[in-house]
Amino acid sequence: MQVVIAGSSGLIGTALVAALRRDGHVVSRLVRREAAAPDEFAWDPARAQLDERALRGADAVVNLCGASIGGRRWTGSYKQELRDSRITPTDVLATAVAAAEVPTLVNASGAHYYGGDTGDTIVDETAAAGTGFLATLCRDWEAATAPATAAGVRTVLVRSAVVLAPNGGMLSMLHPLYWLGLGGRLGSGRQYTPWISLDDEVGAIAFALTHPEVSGPINAAGPAPVTNAEFGRALGRALHRPTPLIVPGFALRALVGEFADEAILHGPRAIPAALEQAGYTFQHPTIGAALAAAVGRSGNR
C-alpha cells in the first residue's frame, strides 16, 4: 500500500512509519515546513494548503495530528489549541482525501469520546458520546471527517486509550515518581484507566489499513480494562517499586485543574469490541503484559 501520514513525528506516528515500512508499505509524510526528503510533502492546515502531489496514487491517509492533552494546564487558550490542532487538520485532510478519491482515511480520536464518568459500565463502539470537554472534542474531531465519509471514503475512527510506550507518553511522567517510591492510587482508584501498548496501537492502525471490512469507530484499548488502583499496582510490580501513596482528588485538581476531572479521576471502561470482532489479535492483552513490554524496552529501567 501507499500510505500518507500526518503527525508522523509523534510517539505513535514514528512507530507507525517504521512498522509500515518493515511490512513493505510505501510511506509518505506530511510536514509543516518545507519538504526536505523524498518521502516528505509540505502542508499548512491552518491555511488549508496541501502539496497537490501528496495524495497522488495514495491508497490511504492516516491522520494523527493533535496537541498533547496533558501537555500543560488547560487554560482557555490551550483548550482552543487542543481543538484547533485536531479539528482543522482533520477537515483539511478529509476534504483533500475526498477530492483525490483516496479509498481510505484512518483518523485519530480518543477513548474519552464516551465521557470520563462511565463508572463500571462497559462501553464499546456502539455507546453514545459522553459529556465534558474531552468527549465534545472527540465528537467534533470525528465529525470533521464528514467530507471523506460523504464522498464514500472508508473512514476509520481510532478511539485511542492511554498509549503505554517504552519512552514517551504517560509512562515517561510516571517512571520518576515510581522509582522514588511515590507511586500509588489517584483519587478513589475505582475509576477506570483505559490503556493500550504502543505495539497494539500501531498494530490496530495497521490492521485497519489492511482490512477493508473495518470501518467507523474502533476502540484502540486493551481488552482487559483496569481501574486506576489496579493500574498503579501493576506498574509498581513492573518496576519492582512499592505503591504506598494515595493522591486525593483535591490535590490533583489543585495541580492540574480541569484535566484531573476529565482524564485522571474519571475514565471510560472501554473495550475493543470492533477490533476483536474483525479478528485483531492483541500482542499485549493484559495490563501486566503491556507494562512489562514497555518497561523492559525502556531506557528508564
Residues 162-171 as b or e (16 or more Cβ within 10 Å = b): bbbbbebbbb
Task: Name the pLDDT band for 297 (thresholds 50, 70, 90).
Answer: low
Q: Which residues touch 229 (CB under 8 Å, ≥6 apart)?
A: 185, 189, 190
Chain segment 133-158, per-residue pLDDT in tens: 999 999 999 999 999 999 999 999 99
Query: pTM for this structure?
Result: 0.95
3-state secondary structure string across 248-270: CHHHHHHHHCHHHHHHHCCCCEE
Strand-pair category, 49-50 with 40-44: antiparallel
DSSP calls for 41-104: EEEEGGGTEE-TTTTTT-SEEEE-----TTSS---HHHHHHHHHHHHHHHHHHHHHHHHHT-SE
Q: CA 162, CA 147: separation in Å to the nearest integer? A: 28
Predicted local distance difference test score (pLDDT) of residue 298:
56
Predicted local distance difference test score (pLDDT) of residue 301:
41
Check if CATH label 3.40.50.720 holds for domain 2-296: yes
Chain segment 197-242, per-residue pLDDT in tens: 999 999 999 999 999 999 999 999 999 999 999 999 999 999 999 9
Q: Measured on CA atoms in the order 268, 19, 66, 251, is the torsion positive or negative?
A: positive
Of 2, 6, 195, nearest to 89 by C-alpha is 6
Q: Which residue has the higher pLDDT, 58 or 116?
A: 58
Q: How many residues are recorded in the chain?
A: 301
**Element spanning 28, H or E:** strand 26-31
Of 119, 109, 283, nearest to 196 by C-alpha is 283
Assigned C-alpha cell, 181 = 517510591
State phi, psi for 16 to the nearest 5 degrees.
-65, -45
Average pLDDT over residues 181-194: 92
State phi, psi for 23 to the nearest 5 degrees.
-85, 5
